[in-house]
Amino acid sequence: MTEVRLANLTKAYGNMEVVHAIDLDIADNEFLVLVGPSGCGKSTTLRMIAGLEEITGGTIHIGDRVVNDLAPRERNVSMVFQNYALYPHMTVRENLGFGLKIAKVAEQDIGTRVTQAADILGIAELMERMPAELSGGQRQRVAMGRAIVRNPDVFLFDEPLSNLDAKLRVQMRTEIKKLHRRVENTVVYVTHDQVEAMTLADRIVIMRDGYIEQVGTPLEVFNEPANTFVGSFIGSPPMNQLDGIVRLADGDISLADGLSIPIPQRTRARLSEGQKVVVGIRPDDLAPRGHGIHDSEASAELELSVSISEPLGTETLLFTSIGGVEVQGKMLNPRMVAPDERMKFVLAVDRVHIFEAAGGRNVMIDN
Amino acid sequence: MPKRLNAVVSWVLTFLVMVIIGLPGLWVILSGFRPNREILAKPAVWVPERLSLDNFAAIFGLGDTQVAIPVANYFANSLVIAVTSTVIAIAIGMSGGYAFARFRFRFKNGVFLGLMLSRTVPGIALSLPVFMVWSRIGLIDTQFGLILVYVALNIPFTIWLIDGFFRQIPKELSEAGQVDGCTRWQAFWRIEFPLARSGIASAAIFAFLTSWNEYALASNLTRSTDSKTLPVGLMDFTAQFTIDWAGMCAMAVIIIVPALALTFLVQKHLIAGLTFGGVKG
Ligand SMILES: Nc1ncnc2c1ncn2[C@@H]1O[C@H](COP(=O)(O)OP(=O)(O)OP(=O)(O)O)[C@@H](O)[C@H]1O
Ligand SMILES: [Mg+2]
């Protein structure tokens, strides 16, 4: 049973505060992913949990202990680093067994546990090699083996896949997920790749500039982004965001270029006349008639001209613009699109997100 | 065959350079095994007629011709002084190099620059001030006095070299070790130290050779068998009107051999250290 609890956790380098009093409860066996753009404080937060970075303020609980002042080795966590950090002067076997050896586990037990971990990760044939003789993917496995062999309370991953090529990354992603199912430990996983976050996480924490912007399951943060930042960060291709003004009398929100869309039903009560808003439209929800995912729902029609189309096979991305802002739509069952072709787009209105123009907060979310 | 020609030319040039560098050394070594009269003969005798250990016997006070020079004392002094100062310089160099590579502290760049600048002062320029201070506090003609000077002389360089080696080791390795259950101290000895070993070894060789060969400062700060080192002892062979070249060369051989042996022993590390130093930014 290992929950991790961060309360008021703050980190400053000198006068510069980089993590601002964040609160976070991580459940036992949970796979929690910290995601956010570069420099937002993900690594710093993770390293504070590991004990590699001193805490400026607040507390960290691991299990029922406050670990603020404990050294990394007293926290029973293990960590996988972005550059793997395998010990270059030790064989794979020694790398895996190092932690147990330091803990003075009996030689025989080390042997069994190392073999077991090696089997789980499929690196049994590599045991006598040096790290320099391994490929990136193999190093990655060894690093994970080293993490699981000690059977820690909490696993910490800092962008473990970012040095792998795209294909291997997808493969290892799945393996990490399987591994978690198998060893059932609490995991805190840092990445700046929102796809990785969505696919791996039980819950996602989206960070920006040292603040937590939203915490939720992948579907929650996708379907109810707390603000424009989360809206544009989660989802690929990113959410289109357009400025608009609420016209309650007409029941719509007017956009640039004389276009307007109906007010989504669920947001109506939360909007006021003349309110400036940002309209968030995911490319999935904007498709030429007959080519959409959500064709059957409440819809509005927009006629737009397509400047560029990018066929991806099962779908084609369409680039158009409203009021000079680039807008992407998605066409399923694609057909050829002529350059500058004018098309009738269907917008799934109830899937549109409305944010306050000032501050960017989703109008559906109370703070 | 211009390529072939190229190879030949560069081989010849290399050979010439090596001859220029190596010949005096070879001459010294050969002379160590030849009698004085053959060394001074005119015209010069290029190829020795007979090599003998007579010179060595002489300076160690054995054999017929006795030269009253306490070589054994000098050797012992040199060894004690060079080894002790190296050990201390390396201990400090390791701590300092590690600190510069790993920690952030105030005035770090200034201190580092200061250390490097101190190397621009030629040692001999310090000999008079050091002499005055040492004579006041009674360190003239002591092994300790010389050890202190050599430690100071070697520290900037050892710190610089070792800092570079630690800098090359990603700090995540030590961190991984600490997460794996090490204290910082254990992580240092089990992970970072083994990886920096070749750098530390080359720093040690350089420090040892500096102390072992140093003449200028030692000649000022030593007086007697209490502290005179081998290079200073060489001057014992010069009398007012004569120089005992044979004895001097024999003693030079005694100085060269340990240095040479040591260098060969750790050649591999030394090259790693040198080439590494070349690319260090
Ligand atoms: N040792 C340090 N001294 C000063 N500032 C630091 C230090 N380490 C990190 N920072 C700052 O703290 C902030 C957060 O850094 P952190 O490494 O946690 O970002 P990150 O979210 O992991 O980014 P990335 O995705 O690039 O790894 C950054 O603005 C960074 O410049
Ligand atoms: Mg990071």
Could you tell me if residue A362 is inside a domain?
no
Residues ≥6 apart with Cβ < 8 Å to B56: B32, B250, B253, B254
Confidence tier at A1 by pLDDT (50, 70, 90): low
Last residue of a domain, one of A195, A216, A232: A232
Return the closest-CA partner of residue B199 out of B271, B139, B150.
Answer: B271
Sign of CA dihedral A61, A65, A66, A71: negative
Q: How far apart are CA A359 and CA A363, in angstroms?
A: 11
- Mean pLDDT, residues B202-229: 90
Residue A227 shares a structural domain with residue A244 = no
Average pLDDT value for chain A: 92
Q: Which of A269-273, B215-219, B276-280 has the lowest mean pLDDT?
A: B276-280
Return the closest-CA partner of residue B249 out of B33, B21, B23, B20. Answer: B33
Are A151 and A295 in the same domain? no
* A44 Cβ inside 6 Å of ligand 1: yes
Cβ A87–B172 below 8 Å, yes or no?
Answer: no
| Cβ distance of A85 and B176 shorter than 8 Å | yes
| Residue of higher predicted confidence among B51 and B257 | B257
Q: What is the DSSP letter of A169?
A: H
Helix (H, G, I), strand (E, B) or coil at B264: helix
Residue B272 phi, psi dihedral angles, 5° rounding:
-55, -45
Distance from CA of A158 to the nearest CA of B (A): 11
State mean pLDDT over A173-187. Answer: 90
pLDDT of residue B96: 95
User: Among A232, A265, A296, which residue terminates a domain?
Assistant: A232
pTM: 0.83
| Residue-wise pLDDT tens digits, A271-298 | 999 999 999 999 999 999 888 887 666 7
Domain count, chain A: 2
Distance from Cα A209 to the centre of ligand 1, integer Å: 10
Give per-residue pLDDT as tens, A87-142: 999 999 999 999 999 999 999 999 999 999 999 888 999 999 999 999 988 999 99
pLDDT of B59: 78
pLDDT at B279: 36
What integer pLDDT is reported at residue A190 of this predicted model? Answer: 96
Tokens for B166?
């630690």
Report the pLDDT value the prediction gives residue B1, as an integer from 0 to 100: 62
Cβ A98–B170 below 8 Å, yes or no?
no
Band of the pLDDT at A367, cuts 50, 70, 90?
A: low
Q: DSSP H helical segments within B138-192, as ranges?
A: 143-168, 171-179, 184-187
Note if the bond before A152 is cis, omega within 30 degrees. no
Inside any domain, residue A51: yes
- A218 neighbors A204 (Cβ within 8 angstroms): yes
Summary mean pLDDT of chain B:
86
- Summarize chain A as % helix, strand, coil (round to 5): 30, 35, 35
For the domain that residue A216 is a member of, what is the CATH number?
A: 3.40.50.300
Query: B121-148 burial by CB neighbour count: b if 16+ within 10 A, else e?
Result: eebeebbeebbeebeeeebbbbbebbbb
Kindly state the average pLDDT of the residues B244-248.
Answer: 85
> Does A260 share its domain with A193?
no
Tell me the sheet residues that pair with A206.
A35, A214
| Distance in angstroms (rounded) separating the CA atoms of residues B33 and B241 | 23
Q: CB distance B178–A77 less than 8 Å? A: no
Domain membership of residue A366 (yes or no) is no
Q: How far is CA A339 from CA A310, A315, B268, in A?
A: 11, 17, 66
- pLDDT interval class at B49 (50, 70, 90): confident
Is pLDDT at B67 greater than 80 in this prediction?
A: no
Which residues in chain A have Cβ-Cβ distances shorter than 8 Å to B190? 102
Please, what is the angle between helix B245-265 and helix B71-102, to 10°?
Answer: 30
Q: Is A332 in the pocket of ligand 1 (CB under 6 A)?
A: no
User: Please, which contacts does A363-367 make with residues 24 or more away whose CB atoms are closer than 8 Å?
Assistant: A363/A267, A363/A270, A363/A271, A363/A277, A364/A224, A364/A266, A364/A267, A364/A270, A365/A224, A365/A226
**Cα-to-centroid distance, A155 and ligand 1 (Å):** 21
Q: Cβ B175–A150 below 8 Å, yes or no? A: no
Tell me the pLDDT band of B118, cut-offs 50, 70 and 90: confident
Residue A276 lies in a domain: yes
Establish whether residue A13 lines the binding site of ligand 1, counting it when its CB lies within 6 angstroms of any ligand atom.
Answer: yes
DSSP code for A104: T
Residue B215, number of CB atoms within 10 A of its CB: 15
Q: Which domains does chain B have, with CATH numbers?
A: 2-59 (no CATH), 71-276 (1.10.3720.10)
Number of CB pairs, chain A paired with chain B, less than 8 A apart: 58
pLDDT tens for each residue of A24-62? 999 999 999 999 999 999 999 999 999 999 999 999 999
- What pLDDT is attached to residue A296? 64
Q: Which domain holds residue A217?
A: 4-232
- Please give the average per-residue pLDDT across A73-99, as a whole number: 94
Residue of A nearest to B186 (CA): A102
Ligand nearest to the Cα of A44, by number:
1
pLDDT, average across residues B47-71: 75
The yes-or-no verdict on residue B80 having pLDDT over 50 is: yes
Cα distance between residue B135 and residue B149, in whole Å: 13
CA distance B212 to B223: 17
Residues near B62 by Cβ (< 8 Å), separated by ≥ 6?
Answer: none
Q: Which residues have CB under 8 Å from B238's CB, separation 6+?
A: B244, B248
Does A306 lie in the same domain as A178?
no
Average pLDDT (A345-353) is 92
Q: Which of B104, B169, B172, B180 should be substituted to probe chain A, the one whose Cβ sees the most A Cβ atoms within 10 Å?
A: B180
Do A128 and A20 share a structural domain?
yes
Residues facing A346 on adjacent strands: A287, A301
Exposure on the CB side of residue A166, measured as CA atoms within 13 A: 1
CA dist B255 → B206, B212, B249 (Å):
15, 8, 10
> Residue A158 is which amino acid?
D
User: How many other CB atoms sit within 10 Å of the CB of residue A116?
Assistant: 14
Contact A154, A77 (CB under 8 A): yes
Most ligand 1 atoms within 8 A of CB, residue of A9, A10, A16, A18 to mutate: A18
Q: What is the CATH classification number for the domain harbouring A352?
A: 2.40.50.140
Residues A120 and A21 in one domain: yes
